[in-house]
DNA sequence: GACGTTAGGTTAACGATGTCAACCTGACTC
DNA sequence: GAGTCAGGTTGACATCGTTAACCTAACGTC
């Protein structure tokens, strides 16, 4: 297909082609915005090489796509590093919003690495990196006493909330989202952070529904309807709790 | 491929084949667990018909797959209906957990409809149905005074949290999840519900960091480190708030 | 400088997939 | 019984991921 053959790399420099393939695939992904456009043939042509040559450097298409998308993850590490510092709770919020911005800035890569069945049996690098950063930010809050409980469990909650929001934004672009996405994300980060901060302070010994009632009573918050008498705490519920249903 | 031709349906009963194709595809999806196994040819053979016949009833593969997966969504409506009733905040929690259970019970269908770029320009039916149920449960809480604010915005937060958790569970099965998934989901529903309940009660007029500080002060919660003096409220942060970074 | 070795590619082909144009045919209408 | 058309089939096309077999220029060796 190519008019001229590729000038063969010198011995030991075959890795150069790998780099060139990754660059070509990355460009293609950026231009088209979807991984479906990443066919082995097109990538090969773009790298100035024949199709089977791709298999000299990647075991298969899946590995190629994964490698391409993983490149964006370096940026995530940098972003999280920049978000650290200062008040740990504020930093946690910055990390959450930065994570969301990162995902929305690289929707195709995020979709490939986080929203598709992971191929290999090992823990996927992208997910464990993202989660690792989250845990670090949460652990700082725990050390500071802002959050209480297992950092990993807390981080899973925050990660779920932020990932849920951006993954819906990415996968459902035609959903009637509010215009201000930034505000939506801030809202959700706020909700998650606030929920985590207060949830962990519930006295675990109490039965859950009583727990929430007592806690909110301490907080001066009524969970009953505005017009009802507020002396009854038994009618207050807690959404995370398994009850009759 | 089939040894005998299909007995042709009577006039006006061509829809019977559509139903048969959907059934065959549904079985295949249930057996294999992945939509990649849903090839037009295999579905056709299984329905006892030749490949192009599928195109008499579905515009393309995408439409077929979507139709198959949408069948599970009827169950979601039923599940949400069962979760209603009683204390609205408790019901909201039941809905969240039921939603998560539904997603984990139909991972392939959930992945296809919620974790892939939606094809058509119209609002995808699956997402709007799921969100609609969420909004209904939240709106009941708002009417009861348990939650405050825009039901749709609040529902987006809860939906994000639950969807985020289950979509990660589905897409990253090799991640080191805690053994008790049910507990994880309950934790996240709890976090989201608690966060939404308290977040909406923050006096919006105050600048956010002062808001959180004042609110938590009312609640008797210290966001500073355990060892620090607690008179200073200015050092408290709020994760959803945009600040210097 | 000739030689064998081998890394770095190419050529040609396979099987599977989604999709379509053209054709067939039996059920129904009149 | 002729005509029509819904309900399907035949056969084929382009494209995809992947592989086997082959070629050849670069290098170490003598």
For residues A192-211, give the mean pLDDT: 62
Of A128, A130, A219, A215, the closest CA to residue A166 belongs to A130
- Rounded distance in angstroms from the CA atom of residue B59 to the C1' atom of nucleotide C26: 25
Q: How far is B121 from chain A (nearest CA, A)?
A: 6
Of B182, B120, B90, the closest CA to residue A209 belongs to B90
Q: Are residues A29 and A129 in the same domain?
A: no
Q: Are residues B107 and B183 in the same domain?
A: yes
* pLDDT confidence tier of residue A200, bands split at 50, 70 and 90: low
* pLDDT confidence tier of residue A233, bands split at 50, 70 and 90: very low
Q: Are residues A107 and A35 in the same domain?
A: no
For residues A55-65, give the mean pLDDT: 96
* pLDDT confidence tier of residue A123, bands split at 50, 70 and 90: confident
In a domain, A5, yes or no: no
Alpha helices in chain B (DSSP H): 15-32, 40-46, 61-70, 72-83, 88-105, 107-114, 125-144, 151-171, 181-199, 208-219
Angstrom distance (rounded) from CA A31 to CA A191: 35
In a domain, B6, yes or no: no
B220 contacts B188 by C-beta, under 8 angstroms? no
Residue B226, judged by CB atoms within 10 A of its CB (0-12, 13-18, 19+), counts as: exposed
Q: Are residues B161 and B99 in the same domain?
A: yes
Contacts of A141 (CB under 8 A, 6+ apart): A88, A89, A92, A147
In this predicted structure, what is the pLDDT of residue A16? 93
Number of domains in chain A: 2
Angstrom distance (rounded) from CA B44 to CA B27: 12
In a domain, A230, yes or no: no
Q: Are residues A56 and A110 in the same domain?
A: no
Contact A117 B236 (CB under 8 A): no
- Where is pLDDT greater, at B8 or B228? B8
Closest residue in A to B180 (Cα) is A153
Q: Are residues A147 and A173 in the same domain?
A: yes
CB atoms within 10 A of CB A160: 28
According to the per-residue pLDDT averaged within each range, which of A12-21, A36-45, A143-152, A236-245 is highest? A36-45
Q: Are residues B76 and B33 in the same domain?
A: no
Of B156, B202, B96, B125, the closest CA to residue A194 belongs to B202
Q: Are residues A76 and A173 in the same domain?
A: yes
Q: Are residues B77 and B192 in the same domain?
A: yes
Angstrom distance (rounded) from CA A198 to CA A111: 32
Mutate to test the interface with A, among B69, B78, B164, B213 (most CBs of A within 10 A): B164
For residues A129-134, give the mean pLDDT: 97
Q: Show which of A160, A177, A199 is a domain's final residue.
A: A199
Q: What is the pLDDT of residues B130-187, one digit of tens each?
A: 999 999 999 998 888 778 899 999 999 999 999 999 999 999 999 999 999 999 999 9
Q: Are residues A76 and A156 in the same domain?
A: yes
In a domain, A105, yes or no: yes
- B8: nt with nearest C1' to CA: D7
In this predicted structure, what is the pLDDT of residue B232? 33
- A50: nt with nearest C1' to CA: C10
Average pLDDT, chain A: 83
Mutate to test the interface with A, among B36, B134, B191, B235 (most CBs of A within 10 A): B191
A244 pLDDT above the threshold of 50: no
In a domain, A87, yes or no: yes
In a domain, B55, yes or no: yes
Of B97, B40, B105, B36, the closest CA to residue B73 belongs to B105
In a domain, A193, yes or no: yes
Q: Are residues A85 and A193 in the same domain?
A: yes
The parent domain of residue A188 ranges over 72-199
Give φ, ψ of A152 to 5 degrees. Answer: -70, -40
Q: Find chain A residues with C-beta within 8 A of B94's C-beta.
A: 239, 243, 245
Q: What is the pLDDT of residues A82-107, one digit of tens each?
A: 999 888 888 999 999 999 999 999 99
Torsion of the alpha carbons at A114, A119, A121 and A127, rounded to the nearest 10: -10
Does the C-beta of B61 come within 7 A of strand D? no
Of A140, A184, A87, A137, the closest CA to residue B243 belongs to A87
Q: Return the CATH number at B124.
A: 1.10.357.10
In a domain, A65, yes or no: yes
CB atoms within 10 A of CB B165: 29
Q: Return the CATH number at B53.
A: 1.10.10.60
Q: Are residues A60 and A76 in the same domain?
A: no
- Name the token pair of B74: 């009827």
Q: Which of residues 27-86 of A touch strand D (CB under 7 A)?
A: 38-42, 51-52, 55, 60-62
């Amino acid at each position: 297909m190519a008019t001229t053959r590729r000038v063969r790399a010198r011995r030991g420099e075959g890795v150069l082609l790998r780099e060139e393939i990754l660059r070509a695939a990355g460009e293609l992904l950026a231009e088209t915005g979807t991984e479906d456009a990443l066919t082995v043939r097109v990538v090969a042509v773009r790298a100035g090489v024949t199709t089977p040559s791709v298999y000299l450097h990647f075991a298969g298409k899946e590995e190629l796509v994964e490698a391409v998308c993983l490149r964006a993850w370096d940026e995530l590490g940098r972003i999280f590093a920049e978000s650290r510092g200062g008040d740990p709770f504020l930093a946690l919020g910055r990390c959450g919003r930065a994570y969301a911005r990162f995902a929305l800035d690289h929707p195709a890569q995020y979709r490939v690495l986080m929203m598709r069945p992971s191929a290999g049996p090992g823990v996927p690098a992208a997910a464990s990196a993202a989660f690792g950063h989250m845990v670090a930010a949460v652990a700082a809050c725990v050390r500071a006493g802002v959050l209480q409980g297992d950092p990993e469990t807390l981080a899973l909650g925050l990660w779920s909330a932020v990932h849920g929001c951006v993954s819906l934004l990415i996968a459902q672009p035609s959903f009637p989202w509010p215009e201000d996405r930034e505000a939506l994300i801030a809202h959700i980060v706020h909700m998650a952070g606030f929920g985590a901060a207060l949830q962990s302070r519930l006295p675990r010994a109490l039965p859950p529904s009583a727990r929430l009632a007592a806690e909110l009573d301490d907080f001066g918050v009524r969970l009953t309807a505005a017009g009802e008498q507020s002396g009854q705490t038994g009618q207050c519920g807690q959404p995370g709790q398994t009850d009759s249903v």
